[in-house]
Amino acid sequence: MPRIEENARNEDYWHSIAERYDVAAGPVNLENGYFGRMTRGVAQDYQRNIDFINRKNSVHVRPQFDGPQNIEIHHQLAGLLGVEDASIALTRCASDALQSLIRNYNALQPGDQLLISDLEYPSVESAMRWVARQRGLEIIEIIHEHPASHDSLVASYREVLARHPRIKLMALTHVTHLTGLVMPVQAIVDAANAHGVDVVLDGAHALGQIEFDLQALGVAFAGYNLHKWIGGPLTLGVMYIDPRRLADISPDMGSQRYPEPDIRNRAPYGTVNIPAWLTLPKVLQEHKDLGGARAKGERLNYLRELWVSEARKMPGIEVLTPDEPRLQCAISALRFTHLQDQTPMADRLLKDYNLFTVVRGGSACGSCIRITVGLTTSLDDINRLIRALRELSRG
């Protein structure tokens, strides 16, 4: 295989990868951020597992999936994250993991403060606000500028952490869902650790497209899913707790499913999507064979840069994602500067150009159109997007 950076622009190679996915005719999907497609091979394996579990039912599940199979899947997932088996629990999605971490964090005292930013995902933001209300704590919120820079982001956290010594716990999003901004996680976590502040890291959009060393990052708590950039079936997530910090997260709803201490008691109790979990080994093998997050990330960034570099030159369009490679990934957002609500432009992208995007909002950046390339995105798709943006920007 050629070097990964060169490979990112090898259209023949990526065309052969795109061929592994079944894609319906119709609008070009530039909203690959919601969840990822499974390859045909993974979808077939998943279907086989559905049929298998449906036939065998608990005769297989009790002795196998609840036993050695689960241990093996758990082990493979810990391997993906590069952490000890005892530091992860399987969940149904990133929100399940993150909300359980937040509601069960038991190291808060009256008078403590919680830190969030306006770029947190709604399920994380609402959980932090809920905990604050339940326990009479104060929320401190950072409102980010757009586009931000690496240094301005780090400086904003350092400044707030220094100004509010009562902050005890903070949420941090590795890749923000609105603009695809990749946070300088390491520098921000270092600042938090220097102030004795615990971080709950939302890695929902990071896993599979961004390379990181979870242990080296130094966060105590994190949540991920496997149905975005890893390419697994929907309903797979994972919770991480630094084993030295397990006691700071109480069992969820008092769960005693496993003898304590066991991180699995921190995951919300319930029957999981067993066929989906049985498909994970196949998913992880394909992810690895493709070159992992490094290869996926390079390709996605290459595609994104093709359209963003053109959009930046168009009058009347503002790209809200920073122009700094280390802060970028597959997701980027823009807005047409003459409009408050970007819905009419997203509608025109679909109606006039057959391009499916999504309007997002809710932060200080206001309404924006989020465009997310994927592994099935072709150069033709990108060229169609550039032409559409150029024509729409001219009015």
Ligand X SMILES: Cc1ncc(COP(=O)(O)O)c(C=O)c1O
Q: What are phi and psi of 360, to 5 degrees?
A: -125, 160
Rounded to whole angstroms, the Cα distance separating 141 from 138 reads: 10
For position 177 contacting ligand X by CB under 6 A, the verdict is yes
**Cα separation values, 3 from 66, 84, 295, 378, Å:** 41, 30, 9, 20
> Of 180, 208, 237, 275, which one interacts with ligand X (CB under 6 A)?
237
> What x/- string results for residues 324 through 363 when contact with ligand X is judged by CB under 6 A?
----------------------------------------
Residue from 239, 318, 247, 305 nearest 78 by CA: 239
Least separation in angstroms between residue 121's CB and ligand X is: 3
For position 204 contacting ligand X by CB under 6 A, the verdict is yes
Least separation in angstroms between residue 227's CB and ligand X is: 7
For position 255 contacting ligand X by CB under 6 A, the verdict is no
> Of 74, 205, 264, 266, which one interacts with ligand X (CB under 6 A)?
205
- Residues 6 or more apart whose CB falls under 8 angstroms from that of 361 comprise 178, 367, 368
- Residues 6 or more apart whose CB falls under 8 angstroms from that of 287 comprise 80, 208, 230, 231, 296
Region of 16-24, 202-210, 285-293, 319-327 interacting with ligand X (CB under 6 A): 202-210
Nearer of residues 225 and 367 to ligand X, judged by Cβ: 225
For position 146 contacting ligand X by CB under 6 A, the verdict is no
Least separation in angstroms between residue 71's CB and ligand X is: 23
For position 207 contacting ligand X by CB under 6 A, the verdict is no
> Of 21, 46, 65, 121, which one interacts with ligand X (CB under 6 A)?
121
For position 94 contacting ligand X by CB under 6 A, the verdict is yes
Least separation in angstroms between residue 42's CB and ligand X is: 17
Nearer of residues 126 and 186 to ligand X, judged by Cβ: 126
Region of 57-65, 160-168, 198-206, 382-390 interacting with ligand X (CB under 6 A): 198-206
For position 229 contacting ligand X by CB under 6 A, the verdict is no
Task: Give, as ranges, the residues between 63 and 92 that touch ligand X (CB under 6 A).
Answer: none
Least separation in angstroms between residue 34's CB and ligand X is: 7
Number of residues that bind ligand X (CB under 6 A): 12
For position 103 contacting ligand X by CB under 6 A, the verdict is no
Q: Are 280 and 236 in contact (CB under 8 A)?
A: yes
Identify the sign of the CA torsion 5, 178, 197, 200: negative
For position 95 contacting ligand X by CB under 6 A, the verdict is yes
Least separation in angstroms between residue 386's CB and ligand X is: 25
Nearer of residues 243 and 268 to ligand X, judged by Cβ: 268
Alpha carbon 98 to chain centroid, angstroms: 12
For position 100 contacting ligand X by CB under 6 A, the verdict is no
For position 173 contacting ligand X by CB under 6 A, the verdict is yes
Would you tell me which residues interact with ligand X (CB under 6 A)? 93-95, 121, 123, 173, 177, 202, 204-205, 225, 237
